[in-house]
Chains A and B, each alone.
Chain A
Amino acid sequence: MRADGEALLEVRDLVKHYPLTRGILFKKQTGAVHAVDGVSFELRRGETLGIVGESGCGKSTVAKMLVHLERPTAGHIRYKGEDITRLSGRALKAVRRNIQMVFQDPYTSLNPRMTVGDIIGEPFDIHPEVAPKGDRRRKVRELLDVVGLNPEYINRYPHQFSGGQRQRIGIARGLALNPEIIICDEPVSALDVSVQAQVVNLLARLQQQFELSYVFIAHDLSVVRHISDRVAVMYLGKLAEVGTDVQIYDHPTHPYTQALLSAVPVPDPRARSERILLAGDVPSPAHPPSGCRFRTRCWKAQPKCTAEVPPLEIPEWFREPGGPAAHVSACHFAEERSVVPNETGA
């Protein structure tokens, strides 16, 4: 996989606040859920950018803004240099065709009353130029074949498939319009390990075959390392740290990344490492802490962490020596710490 291609997507200072209201007749805004609060990253052609973070940190909200299912409160999304945040009509339609999404839950994201053929062919209703009416069934059969399903299943309904097969159906629909980018929101989280491996391999193969770029959201850090070129770690609506898989997994410098990685149980009883147990829970995104959002759970927090928001940049003290620690990390006191246990098996 190449990671040095042009930037296909550039996300700058993306914000999504959901208003909190009281009252039924006269709605009064009493506050806001800061679901996403200033997120910037880019996605290059042919690469996979992984996004990890705990439940509720804003991963899906980012995904939905990328595919225009949610409108950002502020910030920009540029696709090949053009700001698509405020596009509408025909121009928006053309862009949406190139940015598709695959959802987490293979049980609820497919309409139970539609046949597999109709589900996969649905995008053609909006974009008939991709597959003229008479050509649709052939296209759908082809797509079924591409994702490893029997083309004869075209008239079956979702309930007749297993979880892994349903996820393949979702992927086939995502591929239907020949997009350049696919946003995968927890595409394998609901699957068992043996089936998960099949779907991960399928996604990797399709990426090669169709030169796709992926944003891959998941909470399983091993899966994300396996599939991603670069990884962004998110906490409470903000990015904590972004880097290549080696930078993030082998040379993390942000305390949150370190705690997250150290908590992953690895399938090797001999691989012990020191686990960083975080105190307490993630604070409510309606009242995020001042300064560094992680400070309420951080064992290194200092007064500066309450007063100043740490910027997402390469810490000064890592710039000069360079090396794998020199990547962006939003911590006033970033330092390297090795936390991933070395597994012994082959």
Chain B
Amino acid sequence: MTADEQPATLLDVRDLHVEFRTRDGVAKAVGGVSYTVEAGQTLAVLGESGSGKSVTAQAVMGILDSPPGFVTGGEVLFRGRDLLRMGEEQRRRVRGAELAMIFQDALSSLNPVMTVGAQLGEMFEVHQGMSRKDARARAVQLMERVRIPAAADRVRDYPHQFSGGMRQRIMIAMALALEPDLIIADEPTTALDVTVQAQVMDLLAELQREFNMGLILITHDLGVVADVADKIAVMYAGRIVETAPVHDLYAAPAHPYTRGLLASIPRLDRKGRELYAIKGLPPNLTDIPSGCPFNPRCPRARDICRTDRPPLFTVAPGRASACHFWKETLDEG
């Protein structure tokens, strides 16, 4: 992309709905999610477990577990083409070559009975018709690129012979293999120690810059997000409740849920007193409260919150909050 071109919107998710039809009822796992990602940009999707982060990503990638999962509405525009309306064959070509995913658990997403060299090489053989020998050479290059020491020797090793951090770097290598435009990383460092997490995040950020990729970083860790994201979408009960440029969100959240999350993490730089705790639990997705889904736990809830579902109000350019009282929340600082 040259400097005078408009920033290209790579991914434009519009009003995505996903539900799971199970014995216990219909779980509305994603209830109208919209976001966009541009080249070179990092969007962080933040939320507690079960809030719909992974399901949203799976629907975008076209790897939703279906049944029981069904996309029941919305569009997923990738460079203007709706992935949801593409044939499976066409979609498979997009996946990997243009759009790749990194999963939380590298061990279970790598093939345990294939050497990592063979797994990396296979990408080039299948997608680019390379010879086995050339593909293997590319695999070594990639492993060096993600800083695996002695890569030429280690291409013949199996996944279990690598440490957790190395496996995650191999997953990154795999996602990068075909130089995609956009990577979705679903909790890529959640299972890792902080020192290893720092190595992996550092690598991911460096590669993103180098290739000017779009990155969607899914996480529940408010610290990781603050470090690397350009903008954030906070999810609660299958919906985005707040979206903002990263600095604005941390400086002054515009939604009581975001505010509560930020207040409930202990600080590293000084010893606090009692932690703020959001009361109660997230709702069961087969029975989401009417009005604002956060109302049973919200310290600010009024009558209107129990009856009227708040839409995403525009708070400022590039900023929105699904709260009737976003202004008051924002003013509180």
Structural contact, B269 and A245, CB atoms closer than 8 A: no
Structural contact, A341 and B269, CB atoms closer than 8 A: yes
CB distance from B291 to the nearest CB of A (A): 20
Structural contact, A192 and B271, CB atoms closer than 8 A: no
Structural contact, A222 and B267, CB atoms closer than 8 A: yes
Tell me, yes or no, whether B194 is within 8 Å of chain A by CB.
yes
Structural contact, A193 and B267, CB atoms closer than 8 A: no
Bound together, the chains give a CA A65 to CA B216 distance in angstroms of: 43
Structural contact, A192 and B195, CB atoms closer than 8 A: no
Contact with B along A187-230 (1 / 0, CB 8 A): 00000111111101100100000000000000101110111000
* B-contacting 9-mer, from A19-27, A262-270, A316-324: A262-270
Structural contact, A192 and B220, CB atoms closer than 8 A: yes
Partner of B278, one of A162, A194, A204, A221: A194
Bound together, the chains give a CA A194 to CA B268 distance in angstroms of: 17
Q: Which residues of A contact B197 (CB under 8 A)?
A: 263, 265
CB distance from A55 to the nearest CB of B (A): 5
Tell me, yes or no, whether A280 is within 8 Å of chain B by CB.
yes
CB distance from A186 to the nearest CB of B (A): 13
Tell me, yes or no, whether B166 is within 8 Å of chain A by CB.
yes
Q: Which residue of A lies closest to B257 (CB)?
A: A194
Q: Which residue of A lies closest to B202 (CB)?
A: A277
Tell me, yes or no, whether B69 is within 8 Å of chain A by CB.
no
Q: Which residue of B lies closest to A56 (CB)?
A: B193
* A-contacting 9-mer, from B79-87, B95-103, B258-266: B258-266
Structural contact, B266 and A266, CB atoms closer than 8 A: no
Structural contact, B260 and A265, CB atoms closer than 8 A: no
Q: Which residues of B contact A243 (CB under 8 A)?
A: none
Tell me, yes or no, whether A14 is within 8 Å of chain B by CB.
no
Tell me, yes or no, whether B165 is within 8 Å of chain A by CB.
yes
Contact with B along A248-289 (1 / 0, CB 8 A): 010000000001110111111111000101101110000000
Structural contact, B260 and A194, CB atoms closer than 8 A: yes
Contact with A along B181-201 (1 / 0, CB 8 A): 000000000000111111101
Partner of B275, one of A197, A263, A267, A282: A197
CB distance from A331 to the nearest CB of B (A): 17
CB distance from A204 to the nearest CB of B (A): 7
CB distance from B195 to the nearest CB of A (A): 5
CB distance from A125 to the nearest CB of B (A): 32
A275 with B278: in contact, given A265-B224, A269-B226, A269-B250 (CB under 8 Å)?
A: no
Tell me, yes or no, whether B118 is within 8 Å of chain A by CB.
no
Tell me, yes or no, whether A340 is within 8 Å of chain B by CB.
yes
Bound together, the chains give a CA A266 to CA B220 distance in angstroms of: 13
Return 5 A-B CB contacts under 8 Å, by A number. A193-B222, A196-B264, A221-B268, A265-B198, A275-B202
Structural contact, B48 and A219, CB atoms closer than 8 A: no
Tell me, yes or no, whether B49 is within 8 Å of chain A by CB.
yes
Binding site for B on A (CB under 8 A): 54-55, 162, 164, 192-198, 200-201, 204, 219, 221-223, 225-227, 245, 249, 259-261, 263-271, 275, 277-278, 280-282, 340-343, 345
Structural contact, A267 and B149, CB atoms closer than 8 A: no
Partner of B262, one of A219, A226, A227, A267: A267
A219 with B193: in contact, given A201-B275, A269-B250, A270-B247 (CB under 8 Å)?
A: yes
Ordered nearest first, which 8 A-B pairs have the shortest CB separation?
Answer: A265-B223, A226-B266, A197-B264, A192-B48, A267-B222, A197-B277, A263-B198, A194-B278
Bound together, the chains give a CA A223 to CA B264 distance in angstroms of: 11
Q: Which residues of B contact A277 (CB under 8 A)?
A: 198-199, 202
Q: Which residue of A lies closest to B147 (CB)?
A: A279
Tell me, yes or no, whether B65 is within 8 Å of chain A by CB.
no
Structural contact, A266 and B269, CB atoms closer than 8 A: yes
Structural contact, A225 and B202, CB atoms closer than 8 A: no
CB distance from A27 to the nearest CB of B (A): 23
Q: Which residues of B contact A198 (CB under 8 A)?
A: 277, 279
Structural contact, A266 and B223, CB atoms closer than 8 A: yes
Q: Which residues of B contact A278 (CB under 8 A)?
A: 195, 198-199
Q: Which residues of B contact A223 (CB under 8 A)?
A: 266
Q: Which residues of A contact B278 (CB under 8 A)?
A: 194, 197
Structural contact, A226 and B193, CB atoms closer than 8 A: no
A225 with B163: in contact, given A54-B193, A269-B247 (CB under 8 Å)?
A: no
Partner of A226, one of B49, B246, B275, B277: B275
Q: Which residues of A contact B224 (CB under 8 A)?
A: 265
Partner of B267, one of A195, A201, A281, A343: A343
Q: Which residues of A contact B276 (CB under 8 A)?
A: 197
Residue among B197, B225, B246, B278 with most chain A CB within 10 A: B278
- Besides A193-B48, A200-B266, 16 more A-B contacts (Cβ < 8 Å) are A55-B164, A193-B220, A194-B261, A198-B279, A222-B266, A223-B266, A226-B266, A260-B195, A264-B223, A265-B197, A265-B221, A266-B226, A267-B250, A267-B262, A267-B265, A275-B202
Bound together, the chains give a CA A261 to CA B195 distance in angstroms of: 9
Structural contact, A267 and B198, CB atoms closer than 8 A: no
Q: Which residues of A contact B266 (CB under 8 A)?
A: 200, 222-223, 225-227
Residue among B164, B196, B220, B246 with most chain A CB within 10 A: B196
A269 with B227: in contact, given A193-B265, A201-B277, A277-B202 (CB under 8 Å)?
A: yes
Q: Which residues of A contact B201 (CB under 8 A)?
A: 265
